Amino acid sequence: MTESFGISGFEDEVRDYFEDQLSGYGQVRRDRIGSVVGAIEGDGPKIMFAAHLDEIGFVVKSITKEGYIKIVPIGGWWEGVLPSQRVVVKNRRGEKHIGTIASKPIHELEPEERKKLLKLKDLFIDVGVKKGFKIREKLQIRPGDPVAPVSELVRLSNPDLLMGKALDDRVGAALLLELATKISAHKNSIFLTGTVQEEVGLRGARTCARMVEPDVAFAVDVSLSRDGMGEDGEERLGAGVGIIIYDRTMIPDRRLKDWVIDLCETNNIPYHLTSITGGYDTGVIHISGFGVPSLAIGIPTRYIHSHGGIFDERDYEQVLRLLTLICERLDQKSLKEILS
């Protein structure tokens, strides 16, 4: 699923896969902007799990007379990870054209230019054009067309670790699909939600929260593994579940947070407490309706928002264990205690 094309606003390919996989486990609905909600309904609390389907990418801004493509970012990119990376441009017919993010070669840079980080305005996409090649007519590429990273998911020499693009948040979406196989008959009402446009403002989560009207909600997403930045601490690959104690969109419900921590400790699920300067889908879910107790749960991941994120499959399994236990243990009594 990480290799599927699906930048914000153009999630069709990954959304269709997610929807198809959910269809055998309950009622599946869409909102009007493309998010998917799979409902496994019982008579217990309404528990919403949200993982976003979209990835960061670009759209075509303009095409130069030589046929090079200028781009604008969709989501948060740092220019330092972009030069020489492969991308794919998808035209309105659904045809895909591979290219590379290019820039002036080092041999042509002035000494002062070499000291500076390239800006996005200095970069362009080359899809293999030559003088006289009419890119609009031949490839049907036009401004507004989406551009996504190209990177296959691979297992590294350490067999516990996998690397690929769009881990934020295809790992969360994959977890919800696996969770569906474990809770097909359940007393609670479980809503497995694949949201769209999270990377540009948590938009799908807002509409889905109105559809579901949950009693409690969890974002299932990536958290930061800071060992890849040379830091020595608990926020690292292999540290288990990341419980988000703060992000810029939400301070989690402390009673729900403590309930989940107790659940981890009594079931020997490794966890760590972490924070992030970004936000999660729960940022809008928790203020929907009359308010929804919410918590973001993360899988520690290195190098997110790049072509080569890395996560530990053992952390993935621990998060899956926790999500399954939440479905089993979060009954009316527990919910009443959380809300009291």
- Please identify every residue annotated as catalytic: 198
User: What residues form DSSP beta bridges with 299?
Assistant: 222
Q: DSSP assignment, residue 250?
A: B
User: What residues form DSSP beta bridges with 194?
Assistant: 36, 51
- Asked whether the beta carbons of 26 and 41 are under 8 A apart, the reply is yes
User: Long-range CB contacts (< 8 A, 24+ apart) of 231-237?
Assistant: 234/272, 234/273, 234/274, 235/272, 235/274, 235/300, 236/300, 237/161, 237/300, 237/302, 237/310, 237/311, 237/312, 237/315
Find tokens 């949201």 and name the residue.
195
SS3 61: strand
- Nearest Cα residue to 82 out of 112, 107, 57: 57
Buried b (16+ CB within 10 A) or exposed e, 139-172: bebeeebbbbbbbeeeeeeeeebbbbbbbbbbbb
- Nearest Cα residue to 37 out of 137, 155, 143, 176: 176
Neighbours of 62 (CB within 10 A): 12
With 0-12 / 13-18 / 19 or more C-beta atoms within 10 angstroms meaning exposed / middle / buried, residue 290 is: exposed
Give dist(CA 241, CA 225) in Å, integer. Answer: 11
Find tokens 């966890």 and name the residue.
271
In 211-277 the beta strands, taken as DSSP E runs, fall at: 216-224, 241-246, 271-275
